[in-house]
Structures are given as C-alpha cells and as structure tokens.
Amino acid sequence: MTDELRNALEAIADRGTPAGASATVDRAAKTAARRHRHRHRHRIARAGVLLAAAAFLAVAGTAVYVKQRIDSIPRVDVSGSLHLGGSDVPSEPMNVLVIGSDARPGLDGERADTLVVIRVEPATRRVSMLSIPRDLWVDDAKTRINSTLADGPAALIDAVTTTLGVPVHHYVEVRFDGFRRLVDAVGGVDIPFPTRARDIVSGFHAAPGCAHLDGDMALAFVRSRHYETFAGGRWMVDPTSDFGRIARQQEFLRRLALELSDMGVNPVRLNSALDAAADNLTLDRTFSTKDLRRLAGLLKGTDPAAIQGWTVPTTNAEIGGAAVLRLEAAALPSVIDGFLGQAPTTAPALPAPGAPQAPGC
C-alpha cells in the first residue's frame, strides 16, 4: 500500500469522507494497482524464467544421465560374428538379435531361453520380429540353438547366421531380472484372457478378462512352457507347445512396446526403466549410444500392433534320445523373405492361447 493511499484511508476513517478524498483514494488506488501489477508481472516473469531453467536442466540432466547409464552397460566383443563387423549404414535395415538369458546360480552354463531377431527398416519404418524356437537343432554345433550360448555370444550369433541365413548387425542380451524390473517400471502390462489360464510350473495364473501383469507374473507368462486354459469344466493343455509360447511372447512384446512408447518424459518412470535396463543388459561393443538413439528414433511412433511376427518353421524330431526341433528347410525361404520384407506376404497366424481377444484391454 502506498503512503498516499494509506493517508487517504486514515483521513476517511477519522473524519468521514472529506471533499476530494474519493478522488484521492481512486488516484492512489490506481497508482498502487499499477505498481502491484508491475511487481506481479515481474514475479511471474522471474518465476517463468526459473521454471524454464529448471525444465531445461531437468531435460539436459536426463540426457546426460541417459548417456551415462547407457555407457555403463556391459559390452561384449562379437564384431567378428556381426554383419559388416557391427558397423552401421544409417539408411540400411538393422537386425538386432535379442535374447532372454536364464543365467542363474546353480545352472550349468548359460542358455538362451528366448531368442528374437528384431528388424527395423529406416526407409519404410517397418518393424518385424523373427522368433527362434529354443530347441532348434543346430547341425554344425550338434546341440540345440539355446545351448550354443554356453560357448559365448559369438557362437550363438554364428548359429543364427549360418542356420537361418539372417545377418545380425547387433546383439542384446537381457537377463530375466531386468525384464521383470522393466515391466514394473512401466507400471505393468494388460493382457486379456478369454478364459482362466495357468502354468503350475512357472507360477502363472490369470482370471478371465483383462489381467494386469506385474513383472513377476509377466515373466511367468512369457516363460510358460506348460500353459493351460480352463474350458468345459476342466483344464486343457496348450497343444501348440513352443509355438503358442512364441506367439504369446510376441503379443506381450507388442504390448510392452506400447507401454514404453507411452512413458513420454516422465523422469521417475524413465529413471526406473533405465536402471532396470542398464543393470541387466549386455550389448555388443559396436552398439554405440548414437546407434541406440537412431534405433529409438526409428521405433518412436511405431504402432506396436503393426509389428509383424514370424517364427522359424520346424518339425519334431529326436536326436540321441532327446526331443528337439528340426529346421523345416522347404518352408524356411518364404518365412525369411517375409521377415526381411523381400516378399509381398503377411506373417502367418499362429495359435496363441491367451493372446488378446477382448477389445479395450
């Protein structure tokens, strides 16, 4: 309050309203209002500057933090097995071999529980997935493909390249604890189930309807090899075996991708996701931060529902008394051509108990 306004108001209080007092009050009030507006605008401007600075620092800090976390991810030198030694051509497609490792205390060596090649094509922004059954027999190695990891990532990459004829540009290994934490970091994933479903071995269970899977339940779902659904008053074993498992994995990955794309710039969730990833990933040494940013840029805005899923064709076989899967050589070329985008075909539908069938989940 100005001195002029204060004096006028005191005069009114002591003697009533003298002549000219109202004009004095009005004049003083307008002066005070102008000064108040000026100070208010100044405070708003100053607050706006501070807010903008804080936002900038937060974004800059996040960018720095992202780089630091990515740089801290363990690397493995497999350049001798990667296509072109792992050097990328920005305009050319990129094939990334992603494996889920079940390395845990008590296991004899390391095995790949889940194997997927993800292909991203910059020109068309097409994204596709090729799932590889873990029991696929590799003639050269004389073992299942998931067991080749025991001889190192390079041996696994060589097995994928020679057996399937698919070039691998980069390698990513995800330990299962990281998968669990990543799902929790995005807040879980919703999957619709038409009936009750379970796997008493992996610990998975779900009621009919839209089930919200946290990290533990999501891991039990994608690892399920004894999947059952409840129909006609009894539990029915999934007859599609690993192929149903692969289809469920592909659908889950699509939905997880949708959740990741919806994370936006939430620093808390981003931080949790980064921590989960960085603490449980291994990348090939040539997979630089720049490559990862380019890959993220290509994936940004991709509709997860548009990601095509392919599966390596196999037939049941027995080798040395062990049940394995033999490559179905006659059917392989059309699958690989479709995956690589070299044939005008669509991915074949796979039986997938537990795959989404209810809209809006």
User: Hunting for tokens 């399937």 — which residue is that?
Assistant: 164
Are 192 and 209 in contact by the 8 Å Cβ rule? The answer is yes
pLDDT tens per residue across span 124-141: 889 899 999 999 999 999
Structural domain containing residue 188: 77-339
pLDDT tens per residue across span 224-262: 989 999 999 999 999 887 788 888 888 888 888 777 766
User: Hunting for tokens 């380019």 — which residue is that?
Assistant: 294
Residues 128 and 43 in one domain: no
If one counts the domains in the chain, the total is 2
Residues 125 and 47 in one domain: no
Residues 246 and 151 in one domain: yes
| pLDDT mean across residues, the chain | 78
Residues 183 and 220 in one domain: yes
Is the pLDDT assigned to residue 36 strictly greater than 60? no
Residues 30 and 91 in one domain: no
173's enclosing H/E stretch is: strand 170-175
pLDDT tens per residue across span 317-329: 999 999 999 999 9
- Residue 16: band (very low, low, confident or very high) from pLDDT cuts 50, 70, 90: very low
Cα–Cα distance between 171 and 284 in angstroms, integer?
5
Give the domain-ending residue among 26, 48, 67: 67
Residues 287 and 143 in one domain: yes
- Residue 46: band (very low, low, confident or very high) from pLDDT cuts 50, 70, 90: very low
Cα–Cα distance between 126 and 307 in angstroms, integer?
8
DSSP string, 110-144: --EEEEEEEEEETTTTEEEEEE--TTBEETTTTEE
Residues 139 and 281 in one domain: yes
Residues 146 and 289 in one domain: yes
Residue 176 confidence (pLDDT): 80
Residues 88 and 178 in one domain: yes
Residues 329 and 208 in one domain: yes
Tokens of 90: 């920005």
Domain assignment present for residue 326? The answer is yes
Residue 21 confidence (pLDDT): 46
Are 254 and 248 in contact by the 8 Å Cβ rule? The answer is no
Residues 31 and 83 in one domain: no
Cα–Cα distance between 159 and 169 in angstroms, integer?
14
Residues 28 and 88 in one domain: no
Domain assignment present for residue 345? The answer is no
DSSP letter assigned to residue 148: G
Domain assignment present for residue 360? The answer is no
How do strand 170-175 and strand 281-284 relate by DSSP bridges?
antiparallel
Q: Please list the residues that pair with 131 across neighbouring strands.
A: 116, 311
Domain assignment present for residue 353? The answer is no
pLDDT tens per residue across span 61-103: 456 667 777 788 889 999 999 998 877 778 889 999 998 876 5
Domain assignment present for residue 72? The answer is no
Is the pLDDT assigned to residue 111 strictly greater than 80? no
Domain assignment present for residue 216? The answer is yes
Cα–Cα distance between 152 and 110 in angstroms, integer?
9
Domain assignment present for residue 348? The answer is no
Cα–Cα distance between 242 and 239 in angstroms, integer?
9
Give the domain-ending residue among 39, 67, 95: 67
Are 163 and 138 in contact by the 8 Å Cβ rule? The answer is yes
Domain assignment present for residue 355? The answer is no
Supply the CATH number for residue 190's domain.
3.40.630.190
